[in-house]
Amino acid sequence: MPYSSSELDFLLSHPEAVEAAQQYPLTKKSELADLTALRKQYGENARALVELVRARALARKKIHGGDAWMLDGPSAQQATPGVVADVRAAHLREFGVQRVTDVTCSVGTELAAMQRAGIDALGSDLDQIRLRMARENVPEVPVVRADALQPVTREGVVIADPARRGTSGRIHRIDQLMPPLPELVEAYRGRELAVKCAPGIDFADVVEWAGQIDIVSVDGDVKEACVYTPGLAKVGRRAVLLRGDRTLVVTDAQPDDIPEKPLGDFVFDVDGAIVRAGLVRHVAHQHGLWQLDPRIAYLTGDSVPDGETGLRAFVVHQQVPLKQLKSALQGVNAGAVEILVRGVDVDPDQLRKKLKLRGSESWSVMITRVGISATAIVCQPVMREKL
């Protein structure tokens, strides 16, 4: 829950209270007792202390130095992970960008990334509380209060992150984002833009002004799409996969011709960034693989590629019609089963309950559509995903 102005005043002026609050575990079991103890000492400001401690716990996992940042729960949830912001900063630096204005800067995560990359930055936002927090988090970067649709400077690249969630839930139409994406693009016509969007964005919605679209995943979890105007484009689409200190980039500049062949000795689940960027065939070509079905983002082949691939590999044991899956799993003494599904209306949790397996072995199952038929591939993972 956001802070009031007086709560933020208290947090900024009482670092000793923040340090004391951070000593409390604040687990589900201890929450009531912890909050009661904090209220005895800090009165009505106890809520803000708890909010900050919890927000920092979340920020610690996604923002460089986040355990010392000033932020609240919503801003921590919405903040771009530091490693993702660093990808954008590095891309802009490759184009020689020297100045950036983040017109939806919130608490400053994007500004911090630009600062790390040596790019001059200016931040703006309408939320005065978040601006105050941004000034604490990135004190060297100037921030001003302004509407995202009202340019505060005519210089540099514009970064924007229109809000994708409103009071009624997630927003799916680009003209209902806050600010609306068409209005944002029009407000900065003639300027280079980098606009953060939902990973599932329909590319057709931005085709008129987009030059490059990046889809970025972190440890297999797709985080965002970023749409760049043509002056910031090297390719049309790019999947950027981040795993620890490793990065894999797949682009549509790579070939995508692949053979049509039957099921091979191995099947592969593809990282979501590659799937959403529409680059499954490009990865298949690169590694000598092919698709189980041209509409489905599962790949197959006769060997496991070396190196960082964006693929998770499984060795094939048996392929059966979906209705024969239970007997096939019973035949291999299956107990624990990982179920992966694409292209078939199957809920893995419900199916697992229906299977009622009693075995002792662990197996994986890929359920998908090949042609017009639903099929199940009983398999086992042969390696952890390298990238």
Half-sphere exposure of 59 (CA within 13 A, CB side): 25
DSSP state letter for 38: H
**Range with the poorest average pLDDT among 230-239, 354-363, 377-386:** 377-386
| Model pLDDT for residues 214-229, shown as the tens digit of each residue | 999 999 999 999 999 9
Calculate what percentage of the chain has a pLDDT beyond 70. Answer: 98
Q: Is the pLDDT of residue 325 over 60?
A: yes
Residue type, 61: K
Q: Is the pLDDT of residue 303 over 90?
A: yes
The model's confidence at residue 59, banded by pLDDT at 50, 70 and 90, is very high
Q: Is the pLDDT of residue 384 over 80?
A: no
The residue with greater pLDDT, 14 or 201, is 14
Q: Mean pLDDT over residues 94-114, rounded?
A: 97
Alpha carbon distances (Å) from 183 to 148, 164, 179, 202, 207: 10, 15, 7, 18, 15
- What integer pLDDT is reported at residue 168 of this predicted model? 66
Q: Is the pLDDT of residue 252 over 90?
A: yes
Averaged pLDDT of the chain = 94
Cis before 142? omega within 30: no
- What integer pLDDT is reported at residue 291 of this predicted model? 96
The residue with greater pLDDT, 78 or 165, is 78
Residue 8 in tokens: 């933020």
The model's confidence at residue 166, banded by pLDDT at 50, 70 and 90, is low
- What integer pLDDT is reported at residue 357 of this predicted model? 93
- The DSSP annotation for 94-119 comes to HTT--EEEETT-TTSHHHHHHHHTT-
Q: What is this structure's pTM?
A: 0.92
Residue 363 in tokens: 């197996």
Pick from 340, 347, 89, 350: which is nearest to 220 by CA?
340
Pick from 379, 356, 359, 376: which is nearest to 367 by CA?
376
DSSP state letter for 178: B
Residue 368 in tokens: 């998908």
